Structure 1
Amino acid sequence: MKYIAFIFLIASLFEIQQSQSVLVYHEEAQNGAVVIAKNSNYFPVTLNIKMDLTNVSSSRRNPLTIVLPGRSQSQVAQLTITDKTKSWRVNYNYSYHMGSIFAKHDDQFAYRLPYQRGESYRLDQGYDGAFSHQGDGRYSLDFNMPEGSRVLAARAGKVIKITEKYNVGKNDPEFREYANHVSILHSDGTIGTYSHLKQDGVIVKLGDTVAAGQHIAFSGATGYVTGPHLHFSVEKAKQGGGYTTLPVKFRTQEGILMLEEGKTYTSY
């Protein structure tokens, strides 16, 4: 029998990603076919698949939403011909975006400050900051760090995304895309992002596993900035693309607490 597959790809990501970095395809099998998904990125993706089946049944619910880990391949569904005396076909489309919509933040976890022990920096903009921390980015933090300061991992995880090629920064929203950054996947599926880094200032590599307190980058003033600082946020993917930031607590000399705008905090 003839197998016909029409594939429509919609890339809706945190940011624009490399074309064909996520693929959905089929392989013929006994009594039908198997649908396979492959993710060549280092970050996980939320993958949405909808199939229009004619004389074929699927082993999985349809439409289907799954999370595909980074650098992985998985059998998504088994397709079985219902009546072998008749023709059959399957039309399917899929969309994907960075991160897991099923991630659930561990609210008991206390992050370390993202700089060296004994160093103190003022939090110039905190949660719900009037300048730029609004909407989905409301739970972000801006530490007033001089350019070239060591940036340390606030939590252990795996390096999944790096941008470090830019050397420009300006107080203009149009420069937002020019912020160098490194993103680290945490054990609960959330992602920690460290932004406005120095050009070529990331010292870890994609796929590296890093410990909390490990030196990962140097701070800078790239992208949409009024001056040198480190922007830090913990993020979770949203269905359909994009992300939302999450409020997190830090270990400080005063105890475990939410950081407040305008205050200075010393790492220890």
Structure 2
Amino acid sequence: MIRVFTTIVLLILGSPIFSQANQNCDKKNICSWIESENNENSLYLQAKNLIPGTHMTVYLSIEGSNIETDPPSPISFVLDSSEKKKALTIKKKENSQSSGSISVLAVAYYGNLTAVHNDTYIYTLPYEGKSWISVGYNSGEEHRGGGAYSLDFVLKEGASILAARDGIVVETEDSYTEGRKDPKLIDKANRVVIEHSDGTVAIYGHLQPKGVLVKTGEKVLAGQKIGLAGNTGFSTGPHLHFEVYKPEENRKKRSFATLFKTESEEKEYLSEENAYWSPDGKTPPGFPMTNLEEICIGNSVPNPDKLEVCQYKIKAKQTFYLSIPIFKSGPYLFKAELISGKTKAAVFKLEEKIPGGINFQAWEIQTDLAPGKYKAKFYLEEKEIGEKSLQILP
């Protein structure tokens, strides 16, 4: 979870009738103060730099001897303009002799406490190309509680981050440089925070140092490039943390499952250990579980992090490798066979079960094939997904 709030504490030394206090403001210029008039003492809030069209939810807790508030504290209060707002009234308890001291705790969150998420909205994938979800809903260490409906997309350092929905940028941070699995870095992830028209907020976290490409107050459109993927804060590798939430009472938040339009051309909820990419109207052989064009046969050991250009030419009487990318989590039954160009008969067959939870599978194969031309056929779940020409070199 990326926390996006600050705390301000106001201490007033009171008498039976409170005197007016100076304003106390946090780094976001959310200010609180007490005004006394007509024997009534009121706490006011003001978001002096609030961006038009956005909201700030402020949690208020008032503590003090012999005092009570109306409405009762703690409460959460929504600021929707830069005008000052009366949040509550403070008064002495009946039959009390003195008010003593008062402590005011104000914790500010981006977003609208009363927001109603538009569950029918179809989000744009927040990256270019293809990405796997390493941590999905209700999973891992951080995707729990208020942040249960968060997604971690595996991306290379510097990959483009796109806005998933239209909105207004309410916060940016790109000064942090460290990234590792360390609780001390929980609040030190570079990020872009965007408020949507329904009052919910999206967080794009773990960006590169100096990897923010938008400014606070800027209106952005879905699909617009807003940052660069990185590995800052509490993180085990380059990825994008994406989350849509709204503030709730008692310093809590509620995250939302979000629909995306994907390569399937349908709206869908995304799940862990699967890959997704933007729709382009193309459906390669093996879609959507794999792509025939990326199945590789060669003499070199395959590298899952590097897409190889496979020539389908291997040396005779040498070990070769067969590899296949997996875009949707299995298990799957995979079959491959080599058919001689001369005899038209199958001279080699492979049948393996691809387990769930992986995005790449490779096999080391030792066989004694005569030089010549062959045809390689591939099957997933008993369905032929295509074939390629193969040549065994002398």
Fold match by TM threshold 0.5: yes
Specify the code of the residue in structure 2 equivalent to 1:4: F
Which one of the candidate residues 258, 261, 265 is aligned to 2:269?
A: 258
Aligned partners of 1:45 and 1:96 also within 8 Å: no
1:178-214 alpha-carbon deviations (Å, 9 max, x no partner): 2111111111221100001000111111111111111
Distance 2:176 2:123 in 1: 28
Shift, 1:167, TM fit: 1.1
Superposed CA deviations along residues 147-184 of structure 1, whole A, max 9, x for unmatched, are 11111111111111111101111133332222111111
Give, as a single letter, the amino acid of the residue that structure 1 aligns with 2:148: R
- Equivalent AA in structure 2 for residue 40 of structure 1: K
Aligned counterparts of 1:70 and 1:207: Cα–Cα separation in 2: 14
Q: Distance in 2 between matches of 1:106 and 1:28?
A: 42
Separation in 2 of the partners of 1:95 and 1:51? 8
**Shift, 1:24, TM fit:** 2.8
Larger deviation, residues 153-162 vs 30-39 = 30-39
Report the alpha carbon displacement of residue 21 of structure 1 after superposing the two structures with TM.
3.0
Aligned to 2:77: 66
Residues 106-117 of structure 1 aligned to structure 2 (within 5 Å) = 106-116=118-128
- Please tell me whether residue 234 in structure 1 is matched to residue 244 in structure 2: yes
Query: Which of residues 237, 246, 256 is equivalent to 1:246?
Result: 256
Q: Which protein has greater RCO, CA pairs closer than 8 Å, 6+ apart?
A: 1
Q: 2:139 maps to what in 1?
A: 129
Aligned in 2, Cα 1:101/1:145: closer, same or farther, shift over 3 Å? same
Is 2:155 the partner of 1:145?
yes
Shift, 1:30, TM fit: 7.9
Structure 1 residues 127 and 33: CA distance shift in structure 2, 3 A: closer
Offset at residue 215 of structure 1 (A): 1.2
SS of the equivalent of 1:230 reads strand
Aligned to 2:236, the other structure's residue is in SS state coil
Aligned residues: 250
CA contact (8 A) 1:219 1:228 kept: yes
Shift of residue 217 of structure 1? Answer: 0.7
- The answer to whether 1:40 aligns with 2:52 is no
Structure 1 residue 41: deviation in Å?
A: 5.0
What residue ranges of structure 1 are gaps of 5+ in the alignment?
A: 12-16, 80-88
Match of 2:32 in 1: 24
Aligned-partner SS, 2:217: coil
For 1:175 and 1:32, the matched residues in 2 are separated by 44
Whether 1:205 aligns to 2:219 is: no
- How many angstroms apart in 2 are the aligned matches of 1:135 and 1:47? 19
Counterparts of 2:37 and 2:141, CA distance in 1 = 57
AA matched with 2:234 = Y
Aligned to 1:174, the other structure's residue is in SS state helix
Q: What TM-score does the superposition give when structure 2 sets the normalisation length?
A: 0.54
Deviation at 1:227, TM superposition (A): 1.2
- Indicate the RMSD between aligned Cα atoms, in angstroms: 3.7
**How far apart are the structure 2 equivalents of 1:123 and 1:180?**
20
Residues 5, 51 of structure 1: CA spacing in aligned structure 2 closer, same or farther, 3 A cutoff? farther
- Offset at 1:107? 1.2
What SS is found at the alignment partner of 2:227?
A: strand
Using the alignment, how far apart are the partners of 1:103 and 1:39 within structure 2?
19
Q: Is 1:103–2:78 an aligned residue pair?
A: no
- Give secondary structure in 2 for the equivalent of 1:127: coil
